[in-house]
Chains A and B, each alone.
Chain A
Amino acid sequence: MSALQLAILVLLTAMTVISALMVVSVRNLIHAGFWLLPFFLGIGGFYLILSLEFLFALQLLLYAGAVMVVVLFALMLTRDVMNPRVRQTNRLAIAAIAASASMMGFLLIVIYRQMGALTVVPGQVDAEAITRELGRMLLTDYVLPFELTSALLLSAMLGAIFLARNPKVELEEMEG
């Protein structure tokens, strides 16, 4: 690894970790939303230095683009988010730590199991073969989890619409 590559890696890691910390520590919800952008970009940068261009583009499109904007939009539509007197944080810090710690634990288990296959410095990878294999696996071996995820997202969306629906307004619209 050359000095330049090391520098880029350190910069990317710093950017990702710092912006992730900012997301969870700033008091203003909108600021937290905006801090998501460098975080998602940092993750995309890791894909890019592994020369996984396809994953990088998807990260950009889905996370840095779509998810980011939808999160911000939801925040903007939340009542009283602009009011400085309304407290924007809740007291669920312990539960949040527990949830993310368990997630981290699962990831560590996966990484630990694959330890033998990992190299310290990833060499040149055949990005196209990896992308093809990824597509094949998603639609054959892992088609059930894949479809379940989409069903989960769909139900989340329906739930959001149901919760956000205001029956009174709808009635007025029908009459008018």
Chain B
Amino acid sequence: MIEVVVQFFRDYPLLWTFVKAVVLASFTLLIPLAVIWVERKVAGFIQSRLGPLHVGPQGTFQTVADALKLLLKEDIVPSGADKRFFYIAPYIAFISTVLSFMVLPFAPGWVALEMNVAVLFVIGVSLFNVVSILMAGWSSNNKYSLLGGLRAVAQLLSYEIPMVLSVLAVVFYTGSLSLTGIVEYQVKHGWLIWQPPIMIAALIYFICALAEINRTPFDLPEAESELVSGFNTEYSGMRFAFFFASEFANNFFITAFAAALFFGGWDGPILPPIVWTFLKVFVMIFVFMWVRWTPPRLRIDQILRFAWQFLVPVSLVNLLFAIVLGVR
């Protein structure tokens, strides 16, 4: 039976590509349901409440219900909005997330597109997210949205630089730009997190990842208490759901990327590789949430100053060390 299916797809590679694309897109839409449920439970735990309880066991289907509600809601477009860009901005955010999942190895052979420059590709694609936020903020014709969009660009661009530099440290250490290659190197030589320069790189990556996915000490683009809801103030219904979904899917992706870069990806004893990937990802997501519900929000100038005056120099020096101490 399985050979027939495999043979069928080998005969029609285009169809196989299509199936992979559909699976990835659905994964990107469905994984936020899980992440958001975990987020609500963790937030509840940290604030001494119970979190969602009523829909399904332990409130598991609460997010599903919310997603359905959002899909059924009216699609409101502000009268002064720049309609074309207002319409497509959420989809650009979503597509950028799907594209980054495309090159992510979940387990040996479980990667939609084996690309030997996957790391560069991921960084490039993640910048589309910035474009979509700017597009949403500008086209909404709303002061708060515009401020959120501008802040998002300033913050994401500033943190992109130390992030890229810390990822480059890993690239120089392993001599590979392919995510599969980096994970295989770690399977052979042990996890990179135990190497001193990479340890610092991982720490920088962690801080920048928080900023990249707009989690609380860095959630300036949304900042409910000052900007209503930031760049997505004017969005409602399905378009809002797409922004929300891509944000949480991004949360998943950025931790999975970290797992592949620093924590050996699918590497681990006894359990099957795919379970290890998800285990590492959810442990890291938990840490992200822990950070989100603990410190308060910073100011935009503090955030930018921290990026340019501390993170960039440190990651540059660290990159030098990584090159010197790297294998070749």
Please tell me which stretch of A62-70, A105-113, A148-156 contacts chain B, meaning at least 4 of its Cβ atoms lie within 8 angstroms of it. Answer: A62-70
Q: Say if the beta carbon of B120 comes within 8 Å of chain A.
A: yes
Task: State the CA gap A76–B124 with chains docked (Å).
Answer: 22
Chain A 58-81 residues near chain B, CB threshold 8 A: 58-62, 64-66, 68-70, 72-73, 76-77
> B127 at interface (Cβ–Cβ under 8 A)?
yes
Question: What residue of chain A has the Cβ atom nearest to residue B164's Cβ?
Answer: A61
Specify which of B82, B85, B120 is in contact with A57 (CB 8 Å cutoff).
B120
Question: Is B127 a contact of A65 with CB atoms below 8 Å?
Answer: yes
A:1-56 near B, CB below 8 Å: 4, 30-31, 34, 37, 53-54, 56
Q: Is B127 touching A72 in the complex (CB atoms < 8 A)?
A: no
Docked complex Cα distance between A66 and B130 (Å) = 10
What would be 8 A-B contacts, judged by CB atoms less than 8 Å apart? A34-B135, A37-B128, A58-B124, A61-B123, A69-B131, A69-B153, A73-B150, A76-B146
> Taking each of A4, A61, A68, which has the highest tally of chain B beta carbons within 10 Å of its own beta carbon?
A61
Cα A65 to Cα B160 with chains together (Å): 11
Q: Is B263 part of the contact surface with A, judged by Cβ < 8 Å?
A: no
B150 contact set on A, CB distance < 8 A: 73, 76-77
Q: Does B211 contact A (CB under 8 A)?
A: no
By a CB distance below 8 angstroms, the chain B residues around A68 are 127, 131
Select the residue from A4, A31, A60 with max chain B CB neighbours within 10 A. A60
- Contact pick for A66, options B14, B82, B127, CB 8 Å: B127
Query: Which one of A34, A53, A59, A73 has the highest number of Cβ atoms from chain B below 10 Å of its Cβ?
Result: A34
Q: Are B117 and A54 in contact (CB under 8 A)?
A: yes
B-chain residues with CB within 8 Å of residue A72 when the two chains form the complex: 131, 134, 153
Q: How far is the CA of A41 from the CA of B38 in the complex (A)?
A: 36
The interface residues of chain A, by DSSP majority, are classed as helix
Using a Cβ–Cβ cut-off of 8 Å, how many residues does chain B contribute to the interface with A?
Answer: 25
Residues of B within 8 A of A37 (CB): 128, 131
Partner pick for B124 among A31, A34, A61, A70, CB 8 A cutoff: A61
Does B138 lie at the interface of the complex (its beta carbon under 8 Å from any beta carbon of A)?
Answer: yes
Which residue in B14, B85, B120, B146 is a CB contact (below 8 Å) of A60? Answer: B120
B residues lining the A interface (CB < 8 Å): 14, 82, 85, 115-117, 120-121, 123-128, 130-131, 134-135, 138, 146, 149-150, 153-154, 157
Cα(A85)–Cα(B82), bound, Å = 16
Q: How large is the interface on A (under 10, 10 to 19, 20 to 34, 35 or more residues)?
A: 20 to 34
CB of B153 within 8 A of CB of A57, answer no
Q: Which residue of B lies closest to A41 (CB)?
A: B128
By the criterion CB–CB under 8 Å, are B128 and A65 in contact?
Answer: yes
Residues of A within 8 A of B (CB): 4, 30-31, 34, 37, 53-54, 56-62, 64-66, 68-70, 72-73, 76-77, 128
Q: A37-B131, A69-B130, A76-B138 are in contact. Are A57 and B157 (CB under 8 A)?
A: no
A-B contact count (CB 8 A): 70
CB < 8 Å: which of A4, A30, A56, A60 contacts B138?
Answer: A30
A61, B121: Cα distance in complex, Å: 7
* Complex interface: chain B residues within 8 A of A62 (CB): 124
With contacts A53-B115, A60-B125, A76-B134 taken as known, whether A69 is within 8 angstroms of B157 at the C-beta atoms is: yes
Tell me which of B127, B135, B157 has the highest count of chain A C-beta atoms within 10 A of its own C-beta.
Answer: B127
The minimal Cβ–Cβ distance linking A49 to chain B, given in whole angstroms, is: 15
Q: Closest CB-CB distance, B21 to chain A, in whole Å?
A: 15
Asked whether A69 lies within 8 Å of B121 as measured between CB atoms, the reply is no
Taking CB as reference atom, which chain B residue is nearest A52?
B117
**Distance (whole angstroms) from the CB of B271 to the closest CB of chain A:** 33
Contact B128 A34, beta carbon cutoff 8 Å = no
* Contact (Cβ within 8 A) B127 A69: yes
Chain A residues lying within 8 Å of B120, measured Cβ to Cβ, are: 54, 57-58, 60-61
Complex alpha-carbon distance, A76 and B147, angstroms: 10
B124 / chain A contacts, CB cutoff of 8 Å: 57-62, 64-65
**CA of A64 to CA of B132, assembled, Å:** 12
Question: Cα distance A30–B89 when bound, in Å?
Answer: 14
- In the complex, are the beta carbons of B116 and A53 less than 8 A apart? yes
**Chain A, Cβ-Cβ closest to B138:** A30
